[in-house]
Structures are given as structure tokens and as C-alpha cells.
């Protein structure tokens, strides 16, 4: 991978958009979800689990009808559109990836969706006034920040007093893991244009240092395990094709590495290299 900064993130999501749309959530009316699925008694298949991931986080955060929401690092807009529909919310999705913005602007124009907007913007410098949002929502997006404290500071700025920050995120289990686990974590997440993961304690510190009055974390790894296993199985099933297409020069090295990193995630989460947590901070 090149230096894991803004351009690497743009290149990664532009190159891999086809895979996300075709493989991960092709049945969704809300385009592709770029996040893992949450399995419980209400969600027993992949399609339902991806929606359930939105439901569980939103219910935990107590989002109110008619809320003003910023979906920070919105990807292809799955959560953005779901929040607008189910909470009658005014939702703005922001992403630094021009291809995602272009795709989603065409989608909402075609569908005639009025209460959703997509902007090309960084979640380090959101184009919103101070104290203007009820909720900042970020699923598997904060991981891309090298300095995650910057995101917390900016989320605090744009939230109204009492506003809520809701995050779904992979967290490293310790700042310094044993060498083999550290190497595995870096291999997996660097292939996804993620420079590093923070621990739960580090996220807690970022929130309180930014001014948030409260912070909660819920480990939901057990509910996400089927989704990680599904990803591993898909990679094993189609790995030969990915390898062949890369050898023939049909797909990029970024797309090849995306497959290789994905193949190792189930192993790593079973070995407690990282966990999946819901995080909730209130201004």
C-alpha cells in the first residue's frame, strides 16, 4: 500500500466499489452497505443482519424522529438512506471519495429522495455550523483516521448540546500486541487503507478530552462473528478468481490485497486481535 492517507482511502474505495456492491449487499434497496452484519434472533441471514446493524446502534443511541444526522464516512449511503427512512430524519452523508458521492447523487436523484444529501467532505472538517446536528453517526469509518482524536473534536463541534455520537468500529484489544498478532492486525487493516486501530480506552480518552460528558462502549463481537465468517468463506470461494484476474492485470493490486486482508479477518477476531464495539458519546 502507498502511505495510508487520504489518497490511499480514495483509491481503495474507488477500486473496490464493484466488490462491495456486487458481493456484500446486492439485495439491498439502499445500495451497498460497507459494514458488517449484526446477527441475533431478529437477523439470521446476511441481508437482514446488515440492516440489523443499523437498527441496534440506532436503538441504543435513542435517535429521535425528525433528527438532523450527519453520517460521517458514509460510503455508499446504506446507513444514510436507512436513517432517513426509518427516523424521518434529515441526513447528510459525507465522504472524501468522489466516486461514492457521484454514485449516491445519481441514486437519490433517480429515486426522488428529498431528505438526504451527499457531500464530498472530510470528517475532520465538516461543512456544518457549530451546534447544528442531533447525531453524528459513523460505522467502520473512524478507523481510517490516523489521529482519531481529531474526529472526536470535530464531532463535538458540530453536535448540539445533548447531541449524540454513535460509532460502530473495530478496536484493537491492546496498544501493543504480541509480535505475530501485531503483524496480522497491520496486514489486514493496511490492506483496507486503515493505518491502525485504537483501543477502547483510547477512544474513551478521545471522547472525554474533546469535551463529551459521557462515553459508553458495548462489545458486540459475538453478534458479528457470523459476518466475519461469511467474509472468510466468500474469499476462500472466489480467491482463485481474484488471483487469476490480478495475474492477468485485469484487477488492481489494491483489489488483490483487499481480498487477502479480508481472508484473515475471521482468524484475527477469533484470536482476539481486535473486537467489534458500539461506542456512544454524548455532548
Confidence of residue 195 (pLDDT cuts 50, 70, 90): very high
Would you state the pLDDT for residue 24?
Answer: 65
CB-facing half-sphere around the CA of 109: CA atoms within 13 A: 7
Beta bridge partners of 94: 72, 119
CA distance 20 to 24: 5
pLDDT of residue 2: 39
Domain residue ranges of the chain, discontinuous segments joined by +: 6-176+196-222+274-282
Q: Which residue has the cell 450527519?
A: 70
Whether residue 32 is predicted with pLDDT greater than 70 in this model: the reply is no
What's this model's pTM, rounded to 2 decimal places? 0.94
- pLDDT on residue 25: 60
**Homologous superfamily in CATH for domain 6-176+196-222+274-282:** Vaccinia Virus protein VP39 (3.40.50.150)
Query: Residue 1: pLDDT above 70?
Result: no
User: What mean pLDDT is reported for the chain?
Assistant: 93
Name the band, by pLDDT with cuts 50, 70 and 90, for residue 3: very low
Region 86-98: mean pLDDT is 97
Residue 5 to residue 230: CA distance in whole angstroms: 29
Is the confidence at residue 31, as pLDDT, over 80? Answer: no
Q: Mean pLDDT over residues 168-185, rounded? A: 97
- What digits encode the pLDDT tens for the residues 65-90? 999 999 999 999 999 999 999 999 99
Amino acid at each position: 500500500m502507498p502511505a495510508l492517507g487520504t489518497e490511499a482511502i480514495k483509491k481503495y474505495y474507488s477500486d473496490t466499489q464493484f466488490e462491495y456492491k456486487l458481493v456484500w449487499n446486492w439485495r439491498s434497496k439502499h445500495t451497498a452497505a460497507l459494514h458488517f452484519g449484526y446477527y441475533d434472533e431478529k437477523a439470521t441471514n446476511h441481508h437482514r443482519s446488515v440492516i440489523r446493524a443499523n437498527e441496534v446502534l440506532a436503538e441504543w443511541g435513542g435517535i429521535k424522529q425528525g433528527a438532523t444526522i450527519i453520517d460521517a464516512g458514509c460510503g455508499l449511503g446504506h446507513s444514510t438512506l436507512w436513517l432517513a427512512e426509518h427516523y424521518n430524519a434529515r441526513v447528510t452523508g459525507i465522504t472524501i471519495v468522489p466516486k461514492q458521492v457521484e454514485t449516491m447523487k445519481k441514486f437519490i436523484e433517480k429515486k426522488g429522495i428529498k431528505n438526504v444529501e451527499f457531500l464530498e467532505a472530510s470528517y475532520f472538517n465538516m461543512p456544518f455550523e457549530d451546534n447544528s446536528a442531533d447525531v453524528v453517526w459513523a460505522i467502520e469509518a473512524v478507523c481510517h483516521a490516523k489521529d482519531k482524536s481529531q474526529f472526536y473534536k470535530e464531532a463535538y463541534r458540530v453536535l448540539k448540546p445533548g447531541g449524540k455520537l454513535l460509532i460502530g468500529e473495530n478496536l484493537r484489544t491492546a496498544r501493543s500486541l504480541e509480535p505475530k498478532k501485531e503483524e496480522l492486525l497491520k496486514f489486514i487493516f493496511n490492506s483496507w487503507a486503515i493505518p491502525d486501530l485504537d483501543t477502547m480506552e483510547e477512544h474513551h480518552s478521545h471522547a472525554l478530552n474533546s469535551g463529551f460528558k459521557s462515553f459508553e462502549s458495548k462489545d458486540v463481537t459475538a453478534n458479528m462473528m457470523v459476518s466475519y465468517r461469511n467474509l472468510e468463506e466468500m474469499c476462500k470461494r472466489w480467491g482463485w478468481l481474484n488471483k487469476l484476474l490480478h495475474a492477468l492485470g485485469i484487477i488492481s493490486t489494491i483489489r488483490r490485497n483487499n481480498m487477502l486482508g479480508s481472508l484473515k479477518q475471521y482468524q484475527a477476531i477469533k484470536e482476539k486481535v481486535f473486537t467489534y464495539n458500539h461506542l456512544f458519546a454524548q455532548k
